[in-house]
Amino acid sequence: MISGLLLAAALGASPPGQETPAGPGAGPDVVHAPEEKDGVQHVRILPSALATVWLAAGYDWTANAPASSTGPASAFGLDLGGGLFFRVVGPVYFGALIDYALTGPNALLVAGGGGLVVDDVTVTGGFGYSSVGDGGVGALLGMDYALARGVALRLEGSWRHSSFTGSDLAEHRLTVWSLLAGLSLTL
């Protein structure tokens, strides 16, 4: 009996003969009250970490671009990115993400942020450094809808901004917006 209790404690399971509490405040791994299907209760357990990579295509456009800018004002956008988030409490995650615009107004975005998991939807976002222009700030908000285990449809929007002095010694501002859709893989 004692070995069973020790094994259950090590695995995080309930001791024999005891039910795992469900509902609000039931423990850090329980997202919501159990669902009952065919007389069986199902409780969703969240992972302690989320590692995701994505490829998304869509539309990029620039605002406040200097006249000497060599890139197009708007173009097809293709972004490759990824994120690593750690569960803090319940469905709330904190971590970091990286996103690179492969086409259009190319720019790297490295950000710290957070995430929220609700059923089959994961929303992540962050704010941080962007390499657009001479460097600046940027933000990204993404939503992943699970299609199958480890594969999701991704919708994302991003903003990258920079203020810099151009070759004409004038102060310039460059803002890049992106709206994209694609696939993400959870590792």
- What does the pLDDT average to over 31-49? 71
How far is residue 83's CA from residue 99's CA, in Å, rounded to a whole number? 9
Mark whether 96 and 120 lie in a shared domain: yes
User: In this predicted structure, what is the pLDDT of residue 69?
Assistant: 54
Mark whether 57 and 108 lie in a shared domain: yes
Mark whether 153 and 68 lie in a shared domain: yes
Mark whether 110 and 171 lie in a shared domain: yes
Contact indicator for 101, 107 with CB cutoff of 8 Å: yes
Mark whether 167 and 115 lie in a shared domain: yes
Neighbouring residues of 68: CB distance < 8 A, sequence distance ≥ 6? 166, 167, 168
For residue 18, give the amino acid letter.
Q
Q: Specify the pTM.
A: 0.73
Residue span of the structural domain in which 32 resides: 2-42
Lowest-pLDDT range of 3-7, 89-93, 153-157: 3-7
Report how many domains make up the chain: 2
Mark whether 28 and 55 lie in a shared domain: no
